[in-house]
Chain A
Protein backbone atom coordinates (compact mmCIF):
# COMPACT_ATOMS: atom_id res chain seq x y z
CA UNK A 1 0.00 0.00 0.00
CA UNK A 2 1.41 3.35 -1.00
CA UNK A 3 2.27 5.89 1.68
CA UNK A 4 3.27 9.51 1.14
CA UNK A 5 5.48 11.27 3.67
CA UNK A 6 6.16 14.98 3.34
CA UNK A 7 8.38 17.54 5.03
CA UNK A 8 9.56 21.13 4.78
CA UNK A 9 9.95 24.42 6.64
CA UNK A 10 6.85 25.44 8.57
CA UNK A 11 7.48 29.14 9.26
CA UNK A 12 8.52 31.54 6.53
CA UNK A 13 8.65 35.28 5.98
CA UNK A 14 7.40 37.29 3.02
CA UNK A 15 8.73 37.16 0.26
CA UNK A 16 10.68 33.93 0.96
CA UNK A 17 10.29 30.70 -1.02
CA UNK A 18 8.41 27.65 0.22
CA UNK A 19 10.09 24.29 -0.40
CA UNK A 20 8.39 21.00 0.40
CA UNK A 21 9.29 17.42 -0.49
CA UNK A 22 7.16 14.29 -0.58
CA UNK A 23 8.57 10.75 -0.67
CA UNK A 24 6.55 7.78 -1.89
CA UNK A 25 6.83 4.52 0.01
CA UNK A 26 5.52 1.13 -0.99
CA UNK A 27 4.15 1.82 -4.43
CA UNK A 28 5.14 2.32 -8.01
CA UNK A 29 6.28 5.84 -8.85
CA UNK A 30 5.71 5.33 -12.53
CA UNK A 31 2.39 5.72 -14.30
CA UNK A 32 0.94 8.20 -11.84
CA UNK A 33 0.48 11.91 -11.34
CA UNK A 34 1.95 13.56 -8.25
CA UNK A 35 0.14 16.63 -6.99
CA UNK A 36 0.34 19.37 -4.41
CA UNK A 37 -2.86 20.67 -2.82
CA UNK A 38 -3.27 23.27 -0.10
CA UNK A 39 -5.89 24.22 2.46
CA UNK A 40 -5.88 27.58 4.28
CA UNK A 41 -6.92 27.28 7.95
CA UNK A 42 -10.65 26.67 8.20
CA UNK A 43 -11.12 26.80 4.42
CA UNK A 44 -11.44 24.52 1.42
CA UNK A 45 -8.97 22.72 -0.84
CA UNK A 46 -7.01 24.30 -3.69
CA UNK A 47 -5.07 22.28 -6.24
CA UNK A 48 -1.63 23.78 -6.88
CA UNK A 49 -0.28 21.56 -9.62
CA UNK A 50 1.06 18.17 -10.61
CA UNK A 51 3.92 16.36 -12.23
CA UNK A 52 3.58 13.15 -14.19
CA UNK A 53 6.22 10.46 -13.76
CA UNK A 54 7.31 11.33 -17.30
CA UNK A 55 8.22 14.82 -16.05
CA UNK A 56 5.37 16.78 -17.67
CA UNK A 57 3.65 19.31 -15.43
CA UNK A 58 0.29 21.05 -15.08
CA UNK A 59 -0.18 24.06 -12.81
CA UNK A 60 -3.11 26.03 -11.49
CA UNK A 61 -3.11 29.26 -13.53
CA UNK A 62 -3.78 31.21 -10.32
CA UNK A 63 -0.36 30.17 -9.00
CA UNK A 64 1.55 29.21 -12.13
CA UNK A 65 3.89 32.21 -12.16
CA UNK A 66 5.21 31.26 -8.70
CA UNK A 67 5.15 27.45 -8.75
CA UNK A 68 7.67 24.80 -9.73
CA UNK A 69 7.09 21.08 -9.17
CA UNK A 70 9.99 18.72 -9.78
CA UNK A 71 10.66 15.01 -9.59
CA UNK A 72 13.51 12.77 -8.46
CA UNK A 73 12.62 9.28 -9.60
CA UNK A 74 15.82 7.79 -8.15
CA UNK A 75 14.57 8.72 -4.69
CA UNK A 76 10.83 8.23 -5.33
CA UNK A 77 10.18 11.82 -4.34
CA UNK A 78 8.77 15.03 -5.73
CA UNK A 79 9.02 18.60 -4.57
CA UNK A 80 7.17 21.93 -4.54
CA UNK A 81 8.70 25.38 -4.72
CA UNK A 82 6.44 28.41 -4.28
CA UNK A 83 8.10 31.81 -4.54
CA UNK A 84 7.26 35.35 -3.37
CA UNK A 85 5.24 34.20 -0.38
CA UNK A 86 2.59 36.37 1.28
CA UNK A 87 0.33 35.78 4.27
CA UNK A 88 -2.31 34.48 1.83
CA UNK A 89 -0.09 31.45 1.22
CA UNK A 90 -0.50 30.31 4.84
CA UNK A 91 -2.07 26.85 4.60
CA UNK A 92 -1.69 23.15 5.20
CA UNK A 93 0.08 21.77 2.14
CA UNK A 94 -0.63 18.18 1.08
CA UNK A 95 1.06 15.98 -1.45
CA UNK A 96 -1.16 13.44 -3.17
CA UNK A 97 -1.07 10.66 -5.75
CA UNK A 98 -3.29 11.09 -8.76
CA UNK A 99 -4.58 8.12 -10.69
CA UNK A 100 -6.53 8.10 -13.91
CA UNK A 101 -6.22 7.57 -17.62
CA UNK A 102 -6.19 11.22 -18.70
CA UNK A 103 -6.86 13.53 -15.77
CA UNK A 104 -6.37 12.18 -12.27
CA UNK A 105 -8.33 11.94 -9.09
CA UNK A 106 -6.52 11.53 -5.77
CA UNK A 107 -6.32 8.18 -4.03
CA UNK A 108 -3.48 8.66 -1.51
CA UNK A 109 -2.44 11.74 0.45
CA UNK A 110 0.47 12.81 2.62
CA UNK A 111 -0.06 13.81 6.23
CA UNK A 112 0.06 17.54 5.47
CA UNK A 113 2.47 20.27 6.56
CA UNK A 114 1.29 23.57 8.01
CA UNK A 115 3.17 26.44 6.44
CA UNK A 116 2.77 29.82 8.12
CA UNK A 117 3.90 32.98 6.34
CA UNK A 118 4.38 35.84 8.75
CA UNK A 119 6.76 38.75 9.08
Chain B
Protein backbone atom coordinates (compact mmCIF):
# COMPACT_ATOMS: atom_id res chain seq x y z
CA UNK B 1 0.00 0.00 0.00
CA UNK B 2 1.09 3.57 -0.62
CA UNK B 3 1.15 5.49 2.67
CA UNK B 4 0.18 9.16 2.56
CA UNK B 5 1.52 11.40 5.32
CA UNK B 6 0.20 14.90 5.84
CA UNK B 7 1.73 17.70 7.87
CA UNK B 8 0.91 19.46 10.02
CA UNK B 9 -2.02 17.60 11.56
CA UNK B 10 -3.39 20.88 12.92
CA UNK B 11 -2.71 24.39 11.76
CA UNK B 12 -3.81 27.64 13.43
CA UNK B 13 -4.13 30.62 11.11
CA UNK B 14 -5.90 33.95 10.77
CA UNK B 15 -8.11 35.27 8.00
CA UNK B 16 -5.88 36.57 5.24
CA UNK B 17 -2.95 34.27 6.04
CA UNK B 18 -1.19 32.19 3.41
CA UNK B 19 -1.47 28.54 4.38
CA UNK B 20 0.50 25.55 3.10
CA UNK B 21 -0.23 21.88 3.77
CA UNK B 22 2.19 19.13 2.79
CA UNK B 23 1.43 15.58 1.70
CA UNK B 24 4.13 12.95 1.22
CA UNK B 25 3.71 9.59 -0.50
CA UNK B 26 5.70 6.51 0.49
CA UNK B 27 6.29 5.73 -3.19
CA UNK B 28 6.17 7.86 -6.31
CA UNK B 29 2.61 8.52 -7.45
CA UNK B 30 3.53 10.79 -10.38
CA UNK B 31 0.80 13.47 -10.29
CA UNK B 32 -2.08 11.19 -9.30
CA UNK B 33 -3.07 13.17 -6.24
CA UNK B 34 -6.30 14.85 -5.19
CA UNK B 35 -7.06 17.27 -2.37
CA UNK B 36 -10.39 17.37 -0.51
CA UNK B 37 -11.94 19.79 1.95
CA UNK B 38 -14.26 18.48 4.65
CA UNK B 39 -16.41 20.52 7.01
CA UNK B 40 -17.89 19.04 10.21
CA UNK B 41 -20.79 16.69 9.54
CA UNK B 42 -20.36 16.93 5.76
CA UNK B 43 -18.90 14.77 3.03
CA UNK B 44 -15.52 15.72 1.57
CA UNK B 45 -15.48 17.99 -1.45
CA UNK B 46 -12.79 17.79 -4.12
CA UNK B 47 -10.65 20.90 -4.54
CA UNK B 48 -7.78 19.81 -6.76
CA UNK B 49 -6.95 16.75 -8.85
CA UNK B 50 -3.92 15.58 -10.78
CA UNK B 51 -1.87 17.45 -8.19
CA UNK B 52 -2.50 20.94 -9.56
CA UNK B 53 -5.77 21.06 -11.55
CA UNK B 54 -8.46 23.13 -9.85
CA UNK B 55 -11.89 21.50 -9.80
CA UNK B 56 -14.60 23.56 -11.51
CA UNK B 57 -16.10 26.11 -9.16
CA UNK B 58 -13.28 26.04 -6.61
CA UNK B 59 -11.91 29.51 -5.75
CA UNK B 60 -8.58 30.41 -7.30
CA UNK B 61 -7.03 31.08 -3.88
CA UNK B 62 -6.56 27.30 -3.69
CA UNK B 63 -3.61 25.84 -5.57
CA UNK B 64 -1.73 22.57 -5.64
CA UNK B 65 1.77 21.62 -6.66
CA UNK B 66 4.22 18.74 -6.62
CA UNK B 67 4.87 15.43 -8.24
CA UNK B 68 6.48 12.12 -7.34
CA UNK B 69 6.35 11.89 -3.55
CA UNK B 70 5.94 15.45 -2.30
CA UNK B 71 2.90 17.67 -2.74
CA UNK B 72 1.53 20.90 -1.33
CA UNK B 73 -1.86 22.54 -1.06
CA UNK B 74 -1.72 26.32 -0.68
CA UNK B 75 -4.48 28.72 0.26
CA UNK B 76 -3.20 32.14 -0.77
CA UNK B 77 -5.43 34.21 1.52
CA UNK B 78 -7.43 32.25 4.09
CA UNK B 79 -11.13 33.08 4.19
CA UNK B 80 -13.67 32.33 6.97
CA UNK B 81 -15.20 29.58 4.82
CA UNK B 82 -11.83 27.77 4.60
CA UNK B 83 -11.64 26.66 8.22
CA UNK B 84 -12.05 22.91 7.73
CA UNK B 85 -10.17 19.64 7.45
CA UNK B 86 -8.13 18.86 4.34
CA UNK B 87 -7.16 15.45 3.01
CA UNK B 88 -4.89 14.29 0.23
CA UNK B 89 -5.62 11.07 -1.68
CA UNK B 90 -3.49 9.09 -4.09
CA UNK B 91 -5.05 7.40 -7.10
CA UNK B 92 -1.88 5.94 -8.59
CA UNK B 93 -2.49 2.41 -7.39
CA UNK B 94 -4.82 0.24 -5.36
CA UNK B 95 -5.76 0.34 -2.58
CA UNK B 96 -6.69 4.01 -2.81
CA UNK B 97 -5.33 5.77 0.26
CA UNK B 98 -5.79 9.08 2.04
CA UNK B 99 -3.55 11.19 4.19
CA UNK B 100 -4.39 11.50 7.85
CA UNK B 101 -5.81 15.00 7.40
CA UNK B 102 -4.95 18.57 8.38
CA UNK B 103 -7.35 20.67 10.41
CA UNK B 104 -7.14 24.40 9.76
CA UNK B 105 -8.29 26.24 12.87
CA UNK B 106 -8.95 29.88 13.61
CA UNK B 107 -6.02 31.57 15.35
Q: Do A and B come from one complex?
A: yes
The residue in chain B whose Cβ has the minimal distance to the Cβ of A112 is: B43
Band of interface residues on A: 20 to 34
Which B residues from 30 to 57 make CB contacts under 8 A with A?
A: 32, 34, 36, 42-46, 49, 55
Assess whether A104 is in contact with B91, with CB atoms less than 8 Å apart.
yes
Does A61 interact with chain B (Cβ within 8 Å)?
yes
Q: How far is the CA of A105 from the CA of B49 in the complex (A)?
A: 8
Assess whether A60 is in contact with B95, with CB atoms less than 8 Å apart.
yes
Partner of B94, one of A44, A103, A107, A112: A103
Which B residues from 44 to 92 make CB contacts under 8 A with A?
A: 44-46, 49, 55, 87, 89, 91-92
Number of B residues near A (Cβ < 8 Å) is 24
Which A residues from 95 to 119 make CB contacts under 8 A with B?
A: 96, 100, 103-107, 109-112
Q: How far is the CA of A47 from the CA of B87 in the complex (A)?
A: 13
A82 to chain B, nearest CB (A): 15
Contact residues in A for B92 (Cβ distance below 8 Å):
103
Does B96 interact with chain A (Cβ within 8 Å)?
yes
Does A58 interact with chain B (Cβ within 8 Å)?
yes
Q: How far is the CA of A13 from the CA of B2 in the complex (A)?
A: 32
